[in-house]
Amino acid sequence: MHARDDVLFDSHAHVFPSSTAESSFRELTGAPAGLSGDIADAVDTMDRLGVRRMVILPLLHARHDFDARLAANESADPDTVRAEIAERWSAYNTWATTTATANPDRFIAMIGTDPVLFGPDWAAAQIERGLAAGAKGLKLMPWFAGCRPDDERLSVVWELADRHGIPVVSMCGMLPTSDLTQPDHYEAVASAYPRLKLVLAHLGLGAEDRVARLTRLYDNVFADTSAWFEQRLHSDSWLSRKLGAAALTPAQAVDLFRDIGVDRIMFGTNFGIRRAEPAHDAFSTLPLTPSERRQISSENHRRVYDDRSD
């Protein structure tokens, strides 16, 4: 096998400026204690697991931080608090592009925004500045923003991604207590913005058949495996309990991948808020053909993220 065939990218990672940065986001997403998630940890993890590059998704749970700070201090000025959190997120986006520029062989930067809390002008400025600094796409979290992905208030992200023809990674799937981000709510976006590449994170967690429906209908819909193996291949996960379903076997997982399309799926781990090893271990057990494994490990990533370097 040619060496290039073994290349593996992690298309969905959360790398942080320091081991203590954005602790509230990590706590809220259930990150295990002791997880560093900084550059040194990311590089060490890539070297240990044979990963070529990680895609950094700079994400804050800004709405939660905003509400928590106002609740903790009744006299706080909402505009001041909002501006401070916006500045923190802006610095995180800048850190991501700076890191990727300094380490192009290890990292790709995306730009995260919340146009609902900070407004479309702030989001547009972050996006344009980030793309000019080398970012390859955008990150959106409708759940944190508090609305469905097809909500008008998020349209600035879809419009700019469509104009630039770049990917947007957006949380997709069942949630413990809501259906805000189920795949069907992305159909209007996929249909209205054909030039953007819509990456549905987590393979639609529990609603994979609806992701498959979208990939059949729209050429611009993709998915990544972050958070998916841990939930769907284990019967004691919250998702398995919610679905009342047994864990999928590796063969069933492959059937589902083929249903969505192995030309649409990218390997990702949620590194930074999850350990990367379980996803790697699970992926290695799947009875994929060598060609299918290559598509999910690297070929789809190269196409979606326009990542042509070795």
Binding site for Zn ion (CB under 5 A): 270
Q: Work out the number of other CB atoms within 10 angstroms of the CB of residue 127.
A: 26
At closest approach, how far in Å is the CB of 98 from Zn ion? 21
- Report the alpha-carbon angle 19-20-24, nearest 5: 125
**Of residues 170 and 182, the one with the C-beta less far from Zn ion:** 170
Q: Is 37 or 130 the residue whose CB approaches Zn ion more closely?
A: 37
* Sequence-ordered list of residues with C-beta below 8 angstroms from that of 91, at least 6 positions apart, any chain: none
- Shortest spacing between CB 14 and Zn ion, in angstroms: 6
Q: Which is nearer to Zn ion, 237 or 270 (CB)?
A: 270
Give the residue ranges of DSSP H helices in 10-61.
23-28, 39-49
Closer residue to Zn ion (CB): 120 or 137: 137
| Nearest-approach distance from CB 11 to Zn ion, in angstroms | 11
Sheet holding 137-140, edge to edge: 9-13, 53-56, 107-112, 137-140, 167-171, 197-201, 221-224, 265-266
> Which secondary structure element, helix H or strand E, spans residue 111, and what is its range?
strand 107-112
CB of 226 vs Zn ion, minimal distance in Å? 5
Tell me the three state secondary structure of residue 180: coil
Among residues 10 and 208, whose Cβ is nearest to Zn ion?
A: 10
Residue 183 beta carbon to Zn ion: minimum distance, rounded to whole angstroms:
17
